[in-house]
Structure 1
Amino acid sequence: MLIEEYGHGPVVAGDSLVGRRGFWASHLLAMCGDGTCAERAVPEWFGGDGADADALAEVLFDPEQWPVFRVLVPDGHPVPGVVMVYRNFADEFGVDYLRGGQDMGASLVSGLSWQELIRVADCPEPPAEGVQDVSGRFLLLLPLLSGEWSGDVVRERIVAALVAVGAPEGTAGRAAGHLLGHLERRALHDSGWGSPLSGG
Structure 2
Amino acid sequence: MGYDDEFLVAGEALLARPGFWSNHLLGTGGEGSSTALPVPEWFGDDGADADALSEVLLDPERWPVFRVPTEDGPGVVVVYRNMVGEYGIDYLLTRPGRSSVQRIGGGDGGLAGSGLPWDELVRIADTPARTAEGVQDTAARLLLILPLLAEPEVPAAAIGRLSADLMAVGAPPDTVSDTAEHLLIRLTKGSRHDPTWRSPLSGG
Smaller-chain TM-score bracket: 0.7 to 0.9
Question: TM-score of the superposition, structure 2-length normalised?
Answer: 0.82
Gaps of 5+ in 2: 105-113, 195-204
Offset of residue 104 of structure 1? 5.1
Residues in 1 aligned to 2:125 and 2:116: alpha-carbon distance in whole angstroms = 11
How far does the alpha carbon of each residue in 1:25-53 deviate from its partner, in whole angstroms, 9 at most, with x for none?
A: 11100116846334111000011111111
How much is the aligned-residue C-alpha RMSD, in angstroms?
2.2
Tell me the residue number matched to 1:83. 77
Matched, 1:28 2:25: yes
Tell me the residue number matched to 2:44. 47
Determine if contact 1:25/1:48 at 8 Å carries over to the other structure: yes
Matched, 1:155 2:152: no
- Give the match's secondary structure for 1:85: strand
- Give the match's secondary structure for 2:79: strand
- Give the match's secondary structure for 2:67: strand
Question: TM-score of the superposition, structure 1-length normalised?
Answer: 0.83
Q: For 1:98-177, what aligned pairs fall within 5 Å after superposition? A: 98-101=92-95, 103=98, 105-109=100-104, 110-123=114-127, 125-147=129-151, 149-177=153-181
Tell me the residue number matched to 2:91. 97
- Give the match's secondary structure for 2:28: helix
How far does the alpha carbon of each residue in 1:52-92 deviate from its partner, in whole angstroms, 9 at most, with x for none?
A: 11111111111111100000013xx1x30000001111112
Determine if contact 1:82/1:99 at 8 Å carries over to the other structure: yes
* More helix by percentage: 1
Give the aligned residue type for 2:164. A
2:193 to 185, 191, 194: 191
Select between 132-141 and 150-159 the one with higher mean Cα deviation: 150-159
Gaps of 5+ in 1: 193-200
- Give the match's secondary structure for 2:13: helix
Q: Identity over the aligned pairs, expressed in percent?
A: 49
Residues in 2 aligned to 1:104 and 1:19: alpha-carbon distance in whole angstroms = 29
Give the direction of change, closer, same or farther, for the CA distance of 1:104–1:47 in structure 2 (3 Å limit).
Answer: farther
Give the direction of change, closer, same or farther, for the CA distance of 1:99–1:150 in structure 2 (3 Å limit).
Answer: closer
Determine if contact 2:128/2:138 at 8 Å carries over to the other structure: no
Residues in 1 aligned to 2:84 and 2:34: alpha-carbon distance in whole angstroms = 29
Determine if contact 1:98/1:105 at 8 Å carries over to the other structure: no
How far does the alpha carbon of each residue in 1:75-129 deviate from its partner, in whole angstroms, 9 at most, with x for none?
A: xx1x300000011111122111112345553411232222211111001543331
